Amino acid sequence: MSAYRHRPWWANEAQGHSHAKAWLEAGYVTEQVDMAAKKLVFVRANRVRGVGEDTKTFSHASLEPNASTKRTGAHPLIGALKGTFTIEPGYDLTQPAMPEWADLIDEKYGPEKSE
């Protein structure tokens, strides 16, 4: 609801605003915020932040499909989630999150039938 009521929610300020940090790190800034019409425009920024450890510069011309220059470097979203969570050493990521689901499904729909 804050996004609908408070214009500062759409500010391009990453400090303390995870939603703004997401679009800034993806290489976009907000412009033309129209609160009454519930519309805004995201514009590609020249500087992309949050790509791995370093910053890459992308020009608008390099994003055009028929541009004479080729786009180089990593995609702006690579590394965007770096440092947001940690997986404990030894944790099995292939382990089912809720093993009892199979029992619940069998109770509700009956056991799986093999043909």
pLDDT confidence bin for 113, thresholds 50/70/90:
low
pLDDT score recorded for residue 18: 87
Q: Report percent pLDDT > 90 for the chain.
A: 0
Gap between the Cα atoms of 113 and 30, Å rounded: 54
- Domain-wise residue ranges, the chain: 2-84
Task: Name which residue leads in pLDDT, 34 or 81.
Answer: 34
Alpha helices in the chain (DSSP H): 2-5, 18-25, 60-63, 101-109
pLDDT score recorded for residue 110: 84
Check pLDDT > 60 for residue 12: yes
pLDDT score recorded for residue 51: 43
pTM of the model: 0.40
pLDDT tens string 18-70: 898 899 888 889 988 888 998 888 888 865 554 443 444 545 554 555 554 45
